[in-house]
Chain A
Amino acid sequence: MRELTFEDVTVRFGSRRSGTVAVDGVDLVVPAGRIVGLVGESGSGKSTLARAAVGLAPLAAGRILLDGQPITGLRTRPLQMIFQDPYSALDPRMSIGASIAEAMPRGTGDKRAEVGRLLELVGLAADRAGARPDELSGGQRQRVALARALSGKPEVIVADEITSALDVSIQGAVLNAVRDLQRRMRLTMLFISHNLAVVRYVSDIVAVMRQGRIVEYGPVDEVLLDPQHEYTRELLAAVPRPGVPLGT
């Protein structure tokens, strides 16, 4: 249970002169044991921010702290990430058990038992450990990805659009698993999605991102009931509601 803090984080792609700034001086706190939902449209920089947190995108400026400690100084990062595409997130040549075991820290005792325990935790039978990813549905794969993230004994999980590639009937199962685990294990979580309804359901706190900057941040009820920033209002108005006329 740790607090993840972004301090004036800037990520730039390409050269200093002609490159683009994907994340522009972001300050964001993910309090310990809470879920912060990060919403924004494509190109707003939310995925880049996530990748920066786990070290997949280099910072141009600023720092990322875990309980006040700069994250780059830590030998093993207690951060794990879950990706959007369940079909690309697991190695097709490895059994799911091997994929999960791979992320375990050294010195884990009985790896097989631990794999079984994690599979049960995300709602899959422990004896599926020998299965290959192509035997699983998208939702099951995404739950395996969740188990793999948990196997690294993380204190912080970054989830990047983890349900947007899934069918709606499966999305529910994955969201339930995420919420249930987070509550039981008191994980700190940065949950990224473009879907406001999903973020509202999962998160305690919402951050709205636009053009590389955080434009609004606050408890989920406050932000969604009483948005302060114009862009947040625009986003909320655009959420489809059955039976409500579209307007012109």
Chain B
Amino acid sequence: MKATAARRWTGALRSPLGITAAVLLAAVVLLAVVAPLIWSGRADAVQSAEILQGPSSAHPVGTDLLGRDILARVLVATRLSVGLALLATAIGVTAGLLLGTANVLLGRWIGRWVGTLINIAVAFPSLLLALFFAVIFGVGAKGAVLAIGFATAPGFARLTQTMAATVSGRDFIAAARVAGIGRMRILVRHVLPNIAEPLIVSATMAAGSALLAFASLSFLGLGVQAPSYDWGRLLGEGLAQIYVHPAGALAAGVAVVLAAMAFNLSGEAVARAIGLRSAQTGRRTEHTYEPPPADPEPDGPDQPLLAVENLHVTFPAAGGPVTPVRGVSLSVRRGEAIGIVGESGSGKSLTALAIAQLIEHPGRVRAERLEFLGTDLREKADHRRLLGTSLSMVFQDPMTSLNPTQRVGRQLAEVVREHQGADRRTAWRRAVDRLAAVRIPSAERRAKQLPHEFSGGMRQRAMIGMGVMANPQLIIADEPTTALDVTVQRQVLQLIANIRAAERVGLLFISHDVTVVGQVCERVLVMYAGRIVEDLPTDALLHDARHPYTRALVAAVPDMTTDRNAPLAVIPGRPPDPHDLPAGCPYAPRCLLATDRCRREDPALTTYAIGRRVACWHADQAPAAIPDNRTTVPDDDKTDDPIAAPLGGERP
């Protein structure tokens, strides 16, 4: 953790931006410290013989009205200019932090009033505030510092408030409150560390702006007063002679620009260094390792709806490309329901997206065969029409898949208007008809409503309705019921099953839940680490799976028949990192049956019976080695199910 952070910072320092920022900032700070010590005598020496001279070897940018060396004065002014700007920033940041954290520290009620105060204060421009403070404190450096400080504060307070509110909503703050930790300690220990980085960046940027603002105030005569001088004053003095000695006026201007740039670029560099966090942490060696090719599924008598062979999905990453889907082969026939089961990161959703041609650049899809309804999807052609009418996708989150600003009916109608050129009225009628088909009550009225007026289950049904607007041949459902309650889940599953049965539609059903897949599908593909490790009929899933992973997965899920007195089966370890896959079977490190061969050679997905494939060297030993936790229920006698029995009539 520390090492990667250090690497991130050195990386940011070595970039051109980082180098420029560091050099500029170092120069500004060095000058601020050293310049007055070296050049103050020269800067203050009045030489009446050398008034208003142009650049010469003695005075590189000339002299001012009193014959003082302008360059020396600009250099000496660094300390005052930068110092005042930093002071103003410090005032602004402190005030901003106090106001912004009021919500955390003083409770919601006071926090709300402070929030209102901030909202009002944000509206005032800094110059107005400066004039206001000038009236109170008198014209001078003190007034200007306070003015710029308090002008910075509201923006900073707003930022702090927003970020603190985000962090405060997280569970670890609630946990700390439950543990009885005081508000002050919550703020210091949990809130501030988590918002510190963006605040530092913003403070650095604010210092740059404060420098500019201060220069403007001094230039206007509202800032530093004679005999002190900062860059703004020097700029003002030089301006009178700009047509005679442009260099004299420009020197101070250049100094302001460079110093402000030093602060802003540093802020930018810090932001980049922080922003890099989510990217690759550390360099990994690139694995271009290929699993052995899977046995293709034998072609049946009729042509499959969808045929996929050796599908790969690759994404570029800082440490070399990663391939989360590695050689998936599957086919879906008319009216067939196939489930893909796997844990998060197994590549199941990416497989679905790749089939629907929804992998965006820079992701890359390649396959030996990718055919839908006989059309090769790998060809560079416009498949939108084909996919738009014959393939429909249902996603997990029905709230984000519908446009919240458009009426539901119109969104459904758009499908047929776009792909079949239907006129508005026909399209609308079809939309209402489809909404009725997915059992949305009073479809005519509901079609005119916006998505937020629908419940979660209704939205998902509307999405399915949209999917069947244009008689699809294949429905790909990616965790369609994960966000739904069980009773609603059942309705949605029934709906999908009915559509499939009525119109002989193929279904590719993706889920992490073996029980749901077991209920909806006829055949299950189990995915692990980007490939299919087992392909089996659903009725074999519970008791007759051959891959140790499938067996462990099934055993790990409690269902309504699980033995309550035995501990649940667990799978030790965690899934492999797609950046760093082991050489042999990817499941070997977690597998009870793993031998040296498993760690060396990756088993191919091989057919061992009709309609059954498995990728394991020890498939024959798995059933004995990994028992299922189910109390065995004979397939033909479901009434042994202790839950089902009393429900008799209730159960379908």
Contact = CB atoms under 8 A, between A and B. Distances in A.
Given A135-B1, A240-B513, A246 B519 contact: yes
A93 interface: yes
Contacts of B1: 132, 134-135
A20 interface: no
A183 to B, nearest CB: 11
Interface of B: 1, 170-172, 174-181, 189-190, 193-194, 343-344, 456, 485-490, 493-494, 497-498, 512-520, 538-539, 541-542, 552-553, 556-560, 562, 564, 567-571, 574, 635, 638, 641-647, 650-652
Interface stretch (A2-10, A24-32, A62-70, A166-174): A166-174
B368 to A, nearest CB: 31
Given A41-B488, A239-B559, A248-B652, 11 more contacts: A85-B171, A93-B194, A103-B179, A167-B344, A168-B514, A197-B558, A197-B562, A237-B650, A238-B486, A247-B494, A248-B494
A248 B487 CA distance: 13
A234 interface: yes
A99 interface: yes
B507 to A, nearest CB: 13
A247 B570 contact: no
B485 A83 contact: no
Given A152-B179, A169-B570, A243 B194 contact: no
A46 B64 CA distance: 77
Nearest to B346: A167
Contact of A102 (B179, B344, B485, B560): B179
B277 to A, nearest CB: 10
Nearest to B344: A167
A245 B552 contact: no
A233 interface: yes
Contact of A88 (B170, B179, B512, B570): B170
Interface of A: 41-42, 51, 54-56, 76-77, 79-81, 83-85, 88-94, 99, 102-103, 132, 134-135, 137, 139, 145, 148-149, 152, 167-173, 175-176, 179-180, 194, 196-198, 200-201, 224-226, 233-248
A239 B542 contact: no
Contact of B171 (A83, A240, A245, A247): A83
Q: Which applies to chain B's interface (DSSP): helix, strand, loop or mixed?
A: helix
11 contacts: A81-B174, A83-B174, A84-B171, A85-B171, A90-B172, A91-B194, A103-B175, A171-B556, A175-B558, A240-B493, A248-B494
Contacts of B194: 91-93
Nearest to A98: B189
A149 B174 CA distance: 12
Contacts of B175: 81, 83, 89, 103, 145, 148-149
Contacts of A85: 171
Contacts of B513: 168, 240
A168 B557 contact: yes
A222 to B, nearest CB: 11
B515 A242 contact: yes
Nearest to A80: B178
Contacts of B515: 197, 240-242
A169 B553 contact: yes
Nearest to A245: B652
B192 to A, nearest CB: 9
A83 B179 CA distance: 13
Nearest to B491: A238
B502 to A, nearest CB: 10
A57 to B, nearest CB: 10
B570 A242 contact: no
Contacts of A77: 178, 180
B547 to A, nearest CB: 13
Contacts of A240: 486, 489-490, 493, 513, 515-516, 518-519
A54 B178 contact: yes
A194 B485 contact: yes
A171 B343 CA distance: 12
A54 B564 CA distance: 29
Nearest to B185: A102
A139 B559 CA distance: 20
B487 A235 contact: yes
Nearest to A179: B567
Contacts of A103: 175-176, 179, 181
Nearest to A83: B171
B181 A102 contact: yes
Contacts of B538: 242-243
Contacts of B564: 200-201
